[in-house]
Each structure stands twice: as C-alpha cells, then as structure tokens.
Chains A and B, each alone.
Chain A
Amino acid sequence: MTRFLPWAVALGLGAFHGLNPAMGWLFAVALGYQEGRKRAIVQAVGALVVGHCLAVGAAVMLFWVAGIWLPWHGIAVGAAVLLAGFGFYWLLRARHPRWVGMRVGFRDLVFWAFLMATAHGAGLMLLPVLGTAGLCGQGAGWLPLGEALGVAVVHSVGYWAVALGISLFVFEKIGLSFLRKAWWNLDLLWGTALLLAAGTLLLFPQQAGH
C-alpha cells in the first residue's frame, strides 16, 4: 500500500492545484465565455497543463540534479527554507504582478501557467513526495530520474482532470454566479500548504534518507 502512497499524494496535490482558480481554470472559463464555445476551454486547459507540468517538472529536475551531489538532509533543509519563503510570501504577499492580458494564444497560456505555478511554489510542494518516493521506490540509491519525472506527470494528470472538470462544470451547468459565492481564499490555503510541506521536510527528513 505505502508503495502507491507517494503517487496518490502526487495525484492529490495535482487535483489541489487544479482546484485553485489562480492556477488556470478561471482563465479557461473566461476564454470560453469570451469566445462563446466549449472548445476554447478544452484548448485552454490543454495549454495550461503543459505550462503547469513544465513548471513542476523543472522543480523536480532541479531537485533531482541537486540530489546527485548533496546529501538528502541538505536538500530537505534547503527545500524547506524555499517552501517556507513561498508560503510566507503567499500569506503576506505584497505585490500583484501582471504577466499576460486576455488576448492569449497557446504560448501565452503555457507561459502564464508556468509562471503562476513557479511563483506559487507549486513544484516545490511536491518535494516531500519525491523524498518518500525515493524511500519507497528503489530502497538504496538516489531516486531514479524516470520516477521523479513520473511524479510530475501524474501530478499534472490530477491537475488537468480537476481544472477541466471545474471549468466545464461552471461554463455548462452552474454559470458565473458561482464565482460570487464559492470562491475560497485559496491563497491562504495555499500558503498554509506550502508551510506544511516545509514542516514535513524538516520534521521527517530521515524518512527519505538512504
């Protein structure tokens, strides 16, 4: 059972990211309304998942490369510091940057999703998962690259399914008034999740040790 746990967590975190309107589904809904067709949503989510996957994949690759030279403990502390930094930033953030506008093509959406995911520390959130995947996977030795990238892909599948599901549901079934009522402050939840991930790394670094 524990063998599948990291994959389940990666998928779950993907779903959590997909749930966050700031990660893309809201954008897809707006584009759907602007063009007046469902196809625009499917296309937009397709582009967004590519950007998201690239951002998460990049974080995973950095982590994996660092693991070749650095002991796991060092990476865990470094990642925890980064995660806490992002977490506090999103809890106490001071700026509202603007990256794109509303007339966006495939490349813009990939770029936007990449930046949003990176700025929100989406990839970093996966690091504790990678730690445990390393433990549960091969036992001794550093986590295989294929498995690390697999986590990013599984994560992105979760993201895609939820983002597409919500945007189509809002567009076709419940309509825009949904946005007025059920819009949790995911920035708070997000910041908290980042801090939790940091805490996990600091408290249980030995779990992933060799």
Chain B
Amino acid sequence: MKFTAPDPTFYPSARLAMEGPREKLGYVVALAADGGSASGNPDALAVIDLNPDSPEYGRIIHWLAVPAIGDELHHFGWNACSSALCPYAPHPHLERRYLVIPGIRSSRIYIVDTKANPRRPEIVKQIEPEELVRKTGYTRPHTVHCGPDGIYVSALGNEKGEGPGGIFILDHFSFEPLGRWEMDRGPQVFAYDFWWHINQDILISSEWGAPWMLEDGLLPEQLMKGAYGRALHVWDLRKRRHLQTLDVGEKQQMVLEVRPAHDPRKSYGFTGVVISLEDLSSSVWLWYRDGDNWAIRKIIEIPAEPAKEEELPPLLKSFRAVPPVLTDIDLSLDDRFLYLSCWGTGELLQYDVTDPFHPKRISSLHLGGITRREAHPRLPQKPLNGGCQMVEISRDGKRVYLTNSLYRAWDEQFYPEGIRGWMALAHAGDDGLHWDERFLVEFPLTHRAHQIRLQGGDCSTDSFCFP
C-alpha cells in the first residue's frame, strides 16, 4: 500500500488518463478450442508484450494456465481503477493489481495478482461456483467493473441456466461474493453487459439471453421468434432499483456492449445490436437523457453483405448473405471515436461521435471474415479466419487492439472449420486506421483469444468522477 500518493494508474478524469504512459503489457484470455474436455487443456491468461522497443514485441511472453478445465474464460477486469478516487467513497490507496477473471461456463472466478511480476502474473484465489451460487444466486459471470465501493460483476442466469441474470458484488479486499446487487429488478430477466453514468447514479444493463439459449450455440428457432434480448435497462445505481426499459424493437436481437460517455457530465452512451431479423443488419443505438426519462434511438446501421451459398456456413446458407454480427464496440476516452467490430464480415469501423446523434464514418479495416478471410500485412499470403471481435483501445486513443473469437459454441456455427486465434493492432492516426505490420499475435491452435486488458487501464475499464 502506497502512503503518499494514489496508485499512479488512477486518474481523476478521462482527460488526465489520456496523458498517461503507453501500455507495455496486455493480458488476453485464451480459451481451450475444444472446451477442455477432450484434450484436458485448461484455459489460460496470455501475457503479450506491447512495448514496440522490445525484441519480444507482439509475442506471447507468458502463459498462465488455470488449474481447472472447461471454464471458458471470456470477459474480465481489474479489481480497482480510477473510480477509487470517487469522492463519496474515496479509496485512493487501493491498487490496480488483481485481474478478476470469471469462467462464463464453469462460473468459477480466478483472482490473478499482477503486482509481484507483471510479466508473470499468478493465481492467488479462486471462487468456486458453489460458493458463488450460494451467496448470490447467480451463475455464468460475465462483465467485471471496478466500482468505488466494490467489484461489480454481471451474471447471465441462475443455477438452472435460466433467467433472471443480474449483477453481484465482490468485496474489494477479500473478493468474497457479497450478494445480489438488485433490490428491485422490475421486469428485467436477461443480462449481459452493464456500466454506469457514475456521477448521475445511473446504471445501464443490456440483454443477451438466458444461459440455455446460448451455451449450445445460437438457437435459430429462438432467434426467428425474436426470443433473445432486445432492450437496455436503466437502474438507480444508488437505490439499486430498476427505473426504465429501453426497448429497441421486436425485430432487433441481442443488445450487447454498453459504452457510456466517459465524461461524467454527459448523459448518453452507445450500445450495439447484433442482428435485425428484417435484413440481418447490425446497428448502434444511442441512449440519452430526455427530460426526466431516458430514450434510445438508432444512429448507425451496418448492412449485411451478399454472399454465395457455398461460401457460407450451414447456419447462414439460406440467407445468401453475411451478417455483420456487431459483437463489440468501444469508445475512446475523449468520447470522440467509437470503434465497431463486425465479427461476421471481419470489419473494424471507426466513427467520429463528437456529435453523438450524428456519427460520421471515418475509416475501416478488414481482417478475417466469413467469406473475405482478409490477411494481415505481416503474413499477406495467409488467409485469416474469425473476424475483428473484442476491441480494446489504449488510454491515449492511438492504438486499437483486436482479437477474433466470440464464444466457443458460436464460433463453430459461424466459422465451422474452427477459429485460429489471433490478436492484431491498428494505429489510429489523423488519416484513419492502419494495421501495425509488426504486430500479429498468432495463438496456439489449441486456444482462442478473447478479451484484452491493457496494463494500467484501457477504455472499457476505468470510470471517472471528475470531468
């Protein structure tokens, strides 16, 4: 515990965080391609060298295998971040030290210490699924957010694999699950991602589906019925009560990542909708404060691309099109650029959202994709599969990191030949995006890459109580 100053990676405001030093290490979860059961391969946390001056730049420098098999490591987050400087619960001498890594299939949670040696982190604690269910009633933990008063984690469902999913809290020090977060969930059943307008006491949560609708793959008959999630939920963060449902319409399916503006004075944010049942398009929606209530509207639509039947996986053959499958979005700390990854077409899109109601498309890149198989400039002869999926932006907004696996059971449906894991880096300059030709991390064939966390914080970790 430092005595004289807070953790140097805590910033009062997003503006100050952008001035912080460049990240030198990245942490990426890698899941066993066969689910671990056949091979006995456990999932892992890969440490990637992100220092361009290092001889190991763009390489996996450490592989921390977890002890159990079949966890499906997916999303994860830091134990503490800039929200520790929030004035109503200031805990400035916490440290950004532990990665909280849930297994979305096993419901086990690993606590990984990165302090002793950031290049070789170690597992220091494990929360077993039985304990999680007993204390919270939830399973399938997903998003991890460092709150001022504890660690908030969303979960997709209950012990039976049904709804409701929700949010639970882990203690800042012991990491013990403290219990269910919601006092009154109103009509909310589905869960997925969540974040907050921290200075406005508002939490926003999104909807994917109940675990039974996800774990054996995308269920086409459920999708055609419009049974997957189609709304955002607005909550009173302080009273832990449901306030409002923001429905994006019965033809819209799966509302995933939520990205509120980082400036705590702004009252808007962005969310991505995976697929429209009308035309297979993906879309980005803007939620915003409208008088005493909140409202939502579509601001970006990404159309499906026509394709030949023989190029498509069985799931998509009858549609003769590649849906964009917008699975992740990320907002730079200055609230200026929104990045969209379309896992189906392999496209990374950059929009200027300075005026959030009128986004401007700035540039785009391709890598992988169901029919495109776009290669990377480092290996121009080698077609890549999977597509731009998890996206993470450096604090200064200049580097955009990507990986290509979505969720094991769904990977097989969209890329039946099996995803070969990669991680790439795009530089965001004044002239738009371009690939870093030196940076293409190929994961071992046994494992696929999912979420990325950057040393010292990134654009989907910290929340700021000061503008």
Contact = CB atoms under 8 A, between A and B. Distances in A.
A101 B5 contact: no
A121 to B, nearest CB: 17
A29 B90 CA distance: 13
B173 A103 contact: no
22 contacts: A21-B87, A22-B90, A28-B87, A29-B466, A30-B465, A30-B466, A31-B87, A34-B467, A36-B265, A94-B174, A96-B89, A96-B149, A101-B201, A102-B465, A103-B200, A103-B201, A103-B238, A180-B8, A180-B11, A184-B5, A185-B92, A185-B93
B237 A101 contact: yes
A112 B92 contact: no
A146 interface: no
Contact of B88 (A94, A112, A181, A184): A112
Contacts of A182: 4-5
Contacts of A100: 88, 238
B88 A27 contact: yes
A160 B373 CA distance: 65
Contacts of B4: 182-185
Nearest to A31: B87
A99 interface: yes
B352 to A, nearest CB: 25
A98 B89 CA distance: 6
Contacts of A28: 87
A102 B201 contact: yes
Interface string B445-467: 00000000000000000000111
Interface string A97-129: 111111110000000100000000000000000
A29 to B, nearest CB: 7
B3 A188 contact: yes
B153 interface: no
Nearest to B11: A180
Given A176-B12, A181-B5, A185-B1, A101 B87 contact: no
A34 B6 contact: no
Interface in B133-152: 148-150
Contacts, number: 104
Interface string B239-267: 00000000000000000000000001100
Given A29-B87, A33-B467, A104-B88, 4 more contacts: A26-B90, A29-B466, A102-B86, A102-B200
A102 B88 contact: yes
A2 interface: no
A68 to B, nearest CB: 37
A173 interface: no
Interface in B72-90: 85-90
Contact of B5 (A31, A104, A180): A180
Contact of B198 (A21, A97, A102, A104): A102
Contact of A96 (B2, B6, B172): B172
Interface centre among B1, B6, B88, B466 (most CB of A within 10 A): B88
Contacts of A26: 85, 87, 90
B199 A102 contact: yes
A187 interface: yes
B320 interface: no
Chain B interface extent, by class: 35 or more
Nearest to B6: A183
B10 interface: yes
Interface of B: 1-6, 8, 10-13, 16, 85-93, 148-150, 171-174, 198-201, 237-238, 264-265, 465-467
Interface of A: 21-22, 26-31, 33-34, 36, 94-104, 112, 176-177, 179-185, 187-188
B68 to A, nearest CB: 28
Given A100-B238, A102-B199, A183 B92 contact: yes
Nearest to A181: B5
Contacts of B10: 180
Contacts of B174: 94
Given A30-B466, A96-B150, A101 B88 contact: yes
A104 B201 CA distance: 10
Contact of A99 (B1, B88, B172): B88
A104 to B, nearest CB: 8
A176 B92 contact: no
A122 to B, nearest CB: 16
A101 B3 CA distance: 27
A97 B88 contact: no
B86 A30 contact: yes
A198 B87 CA distance: 28
The 4 closest A-B pairs by CB, nearest first: A101-B238, A101-B201, A98-B149, A27-B87
A29 B5 CA distance: 18
A33 B16 CA distance: 14
B1 to A, nearest CB: 7
Nearest to B2: A185
Interface centre among A31, A99, A102, A188 (most CB of B within 10 A): A102
Contacts of B12: 176-177, 179-180
Contacts of B467: 33-34
